[in-house]
Amino acid sequence: MLPNDPHTYFSDVASKYLSGNASDLEVRELEKWVLADPENKRQFMAFKKAWMLSGLEKAAPIAHVDDLWKQTAAQLTPEAKVVPIKRNWLRIAAAIALLVLASTVIFYNLRPDEVFLAEATDTVNQVALTDGSQIALNQSSSLSYSFDKKKGTRVVNLTGDAFFDVARDEAHPFIIKTSLIEIEVLGTSFYVDAREGQPEIQVIVESGRVAVRYQSQETILEANEKAVFQISTNQLAKQINEDANYLALKTNKLVFENTSLDEVVFALNRQYHTNIQMENEGLKDCTLSSTFTNKSLTAVLNILESSMPGIEVIDEGNVVVLSGRCE
């Protein structure tokens, strides 16, 4: 849990994040904090603006740092007194510059040139990055993007699942970090499923080549191949992709041809970030043949129920239960 105190939060976690020194855990905590409340996001964007200006004026005495952070917090509240923006940010920037200099690291060589946050709540969010890359970010997912000038890398930290179409740039590798694995590409299109609570993380490649890593393990994927990382055993394996609907996040189209209900439920839970469960094991072998294009979850469940007379869809709030039997 991130601290609520603006001084502690901004001077520690956010400074490390913008300088490229935050751990993966700190990055994820920061993303959750920023996306949890519009006011949090406003504070972060204000801090980022001050950070970008930190090289414009000589650092202030260290004794003034705490006071400056208190002023920052006060000026971000609705009751704050209106002050000249440029002068205020230069003063705050001076304090930030002092923090960077105190770590004996040159600020402009370490900070990312760009920090970008995105989230998707109830619908898929189509994200366009400044490098030309396109991302379809699934609902209940979030990401941060930055360019590390010192390392020359484009870095995405992903929570949830997304489809990536990465602009090719051999001089600047594109790296995706999830809670456990790391994916590196030059230019390609692929899907990453790193939803929380799942037993595995999957990477499925549509085109190009992708390197997937976990500690000392590495596997190279090409088109129509996937990497499966089993969380319980920490094992990374390469497989031939047989998932016909992994592009659904990009196309918003689900195709089932004599598909087992077990596979249908998996695809729907992934696509809509819902929790559909089957009441009995016998339902797993039921089959469905149908195509859903630009359909809401409610519409899909209605069609499923009408096309499979022996099955009833029961909405219990947090869980959707499929009951009955095959006919």
Residues 161 and 229 in one domain: yes
Q: In the chain, what are the helix, strand and coil shares in percent, each to the nearest 5?
A: 35, 35, 35
Residues 135 and 234 in one domain: yes
The count of domains in the chain is 3
* pTM attached to this predicted model: 0.67
Residues 165 and 268 in one domain: no
φ, ψ of residue 273 in degrees (nearest 5): 45, 50
Summarize pLDDT for 102-123 with one digit per residue, the tens: 332 333 333 445 567 888 888 8
CA angle 45, 50, 53 (to 5 degrees): 130
Summarize pLDDT for 244-261 with one digit per residue, the tens: 999 999 999 999 999 999
Is 247 part of a structural domain of the chain?
Answer: no
CA angle 197, 198, 204 (to 5 degrees): 140
Report the alpha-carbon distance of residue 222 to residue 186 in Å, rounded.
Answer: 13
Report the alpha-carbon distance of residue 136 to residue 283 in Å, rounded.
Answer: 32
Report the alpha-carbon distance of residue 166 to residue 175 in Å, rounded.
Answer: 10
Show which of 109, 134, 152 is a domain's final residue.
Answer: 109
Residues 152 and 182 in one domain: yes
**Residue 218: strand, helix, or coil:** strand
Number of neighbouring beta carbons within 10 Å of residue 18 = 25
CATH number at residue 312: 3.55.50.30
Report the alpha-carbon distance of residue 259 to residue 266 in Å, rounded.
Answer: 11
Report the alpha-carbon distance of residue 112 to residue 208 in Å, rounded.
Answer: 27
Residues 231 and 143 in one domain: yes
Show which of 240, 268, 301 is a domain's final residue.
Answer: 240
Report the alpha-carbon distance of residue 120 to residue 160 in Å, rounded.
Answer: 10
Give the residue numbers spanning the domain of 206.
112-240
pLDDT by 10s per residue, the chain, length 327: 445 554 455 457 777 776 667 777 777 777 777 777 777 776 776 666 555 544 433 333 333 334 444 444 454 444 333 333 344 444 445 554 444 433 323 333 334 455 678 888 888 899 988 889 999 999 989 998 988 888 899 999 999 999 999 999 989 999 999 999 999 997 899 999 999 999 999 999 999 999 999 999 999 999 999 999 999 999 999 999 999 999 999 999 999 999 999 999 999 999 999 999 999 998 998 999 999 999 999 999 999 999 998 899 999 888 999 999 887
Amino acid at 123: T
Residues 117 and 229 in one domain: yes
Is 175 part of a structural domain of the chain?
Answer: yes
The strand pairing partners of 184, in sequence order, are 175, 211
Show which of 240, 272, 301 is a domain's final residue.
Answer: 240
